[in-house]
Structures are given as structure tokens and as C-alpha cells.
Amino acid sequence: MAGNNRTPLEASSARPARLVALRQAREAWTQADDPVARLYRRVSMTLSLETLLGIFAEELGQVLPFGQLVYRHRLGHQDFVYTSGMGGPHRCDYQLNLEGNHYGALSLTRRTRFTEDELEAIEFLLGILICPLRNACQYALVEQAALTDSLTEIPNKRALDMALARDCSIGDRHGDAFTLILCDLDYFKDVNDTFGHVIGDHILKATAKALREATRDGDSIFRFGGEEFAVLLPHADSTDGEQVADRIRAAIHDIRIPCGDRQARVTASAGVATRRKEETPVQWLARADDALYRAKDAGRNRTHIAHVIA
């Protein structure tokens, strides 16, 4: 019967040789400049879905010309769309699947027809992309869950904090105007006490829906906590904010949740604050919160505008 006849000394000397060979192979792989090795290297170094698709578009463009790349995928409660370049009349479409799971759709367009050799090359490179793409999608879902309120399925307080910091930075760099609305459901505790928390949850979900319908696509809505919501309006001043806040309050006023022979309903109060120059997120939020307090103190079911000081 054959066996391992190496002495311990021979075995120990073989290990460094294997490590040297591995190191040489690694160096050759990291230094290789062919499209396959380069794509493998680059897509394995990021979990950002946008960055990953940018890398793929760049590397694909080195192999064959295309006009536009479009990637679409439904990630949790959000639609993710990535677009690069300009389109054309000829296109090829791919559904990206791995192990029975769907990871989006990718389309390529250009002004001339794709050849069979080019289509084969695209499919080969997509085979390199698919595993990193799966990892990036899963990472995006984890990030989304951490920033999403589980009941209303809208962004949460943590997401609001990040958005306030981002908008303050943009405002300081470019002078863009941003307005924050804080909206609180009036006497919501009485609703829970009268109708129960299940009905209260239905009202909170309906409120999130009302906020989505009363705001523009570019506006951002958040569940700030409990029965309090926030709306961020880009390129908007106090007058714009007051109009949106009143529209939101009217939509909330129209909410009706059947409960036996009665209907549960609520009103809302709102505080509006347009960001001042060089104001921190904490200061901006505090002024909106003070405006909300004043709306409640004045009798609720109304909008109050924070004072604007030049």
C-alpha cells in the first residue's frame, strides 16, 4: 500500500516552496492587466452596489463599445436604478439570477447591433459580476433595514440624522435652501387608549402613506419616533414648507380607520424651519421642534413657522 514516505524535514521544506508559489501566483494575478483578471480584482473589492456597477460599466467599455447601461432592481421597499451613458435603438437584456434568486435586470443599448461574439463576451463578464452583485445587494438590504422603520416602511430617525448632516453640508457648500417639517399626531395616546394599539398602528401606516402622497418625489419623509414624522424639502423656503405642511395635515385629517361602529381619526400639528446658513443639524432640528411645540401650545391642528434670522 502506497504511503507518504516524506521525512519531516522534506515535508517542512516543501511548505515554504508552496508558499513561494502561492505568493508568485498572487503577485501575477494582482499585476495582470487582462480584462478578466482586472474585473475579478476590482469587483471583489467593494460592497457598494453603485460602485460595483460603475466598475462593471467601465471594464465592459474597455472590451466592447456600448451606448448606455441600465440596471434595475427592487431592494426591499425601494427601487434601485443605475444608469451610465446614452442609449440607442439596439439593446440586449439580461435577468441576473444566482441559485434561484433574482438580483436585478441589466440592459445595454447602442446605435449598432450587437454581434454574437459580443453577446458571448457580455454574458461571460456578467458571470464574473453575479457573485459580487449578490453580495452588494445583500449588503444594501442590511443597510436599508438599519435605516428603515419596520412598521411604516419609511426611513427612521437614524436615516433622518444622516440626511440632515448631508443637507447641511450641501447647503454650506452650494448655498442650497432646505426646509424641515416636523409633524406630530395630536392626542395620539387617546387613540391608542380608546381603540387599542392595533388601530394606532394602522393610523401610523396610513400617516406614512399620506406623507408620501402629499410630497414630491425629491422630498424625503421619515418616522422621527412614536407618532412624530419628519419631511425634508430641498430647494424650499418657509413659504414652501408651510404649504407642504398644511397639505400633509389635510391628508392626515382625511384618514379614517374603521373600528366597529366608529371610525378612528386624528389631526396633526406641524413645525417648519428653513435652515439658516452654517446652522448645525442639531440646531436646525431644535428650531423645527420648537416650532412644533408652539403649534401644539397654540391649540394643535395647525402649522407654525420657525423665526428666520438673517
Half-sphere exposure of 43 (CA within 13 A, CB side): 28
- How, if at all, do strands 90-98 and 101-110 pair? antiparallel
Taken in order 154, 246, 266, 209, the sign of the CA dihedral is negative
Task: Give the DSSP letter of residue 136.
Answer: H
Residue of 59, 227, 228, 279 with catalytic role: 227
Nine-digit cell string for 52: 460595483
Residue 227 annotated as catalytic: yes
Nearest to 156 by CA among 145, 166, 169, 140: 145
Burial 18-39 (b: 16+ CB within 10 A, else e): eeeeeeeeeeeeeeeeebeeeb
CA angle 47, 48, 51 (to 5 degrees): 120
Which grid cell is 73?
432592481
Cell of 284: 436646525
CB-count burial class (<10 Å; 0-12, 13-18, 19+) for 123 = exposed
Q: Please give the DSSP secondary-structure letter assigned to residue 148.
A: B
Q: Which residues of 61-88 are buried (b: 16+ CB within 10 A; e: fewer)?
A: eeebebbbbbbebebeeeebebebeebe
Q: Are 165 and 281 in contact (CB under 8 A)?
A: yes
Kindly list the catalytic residues: 227
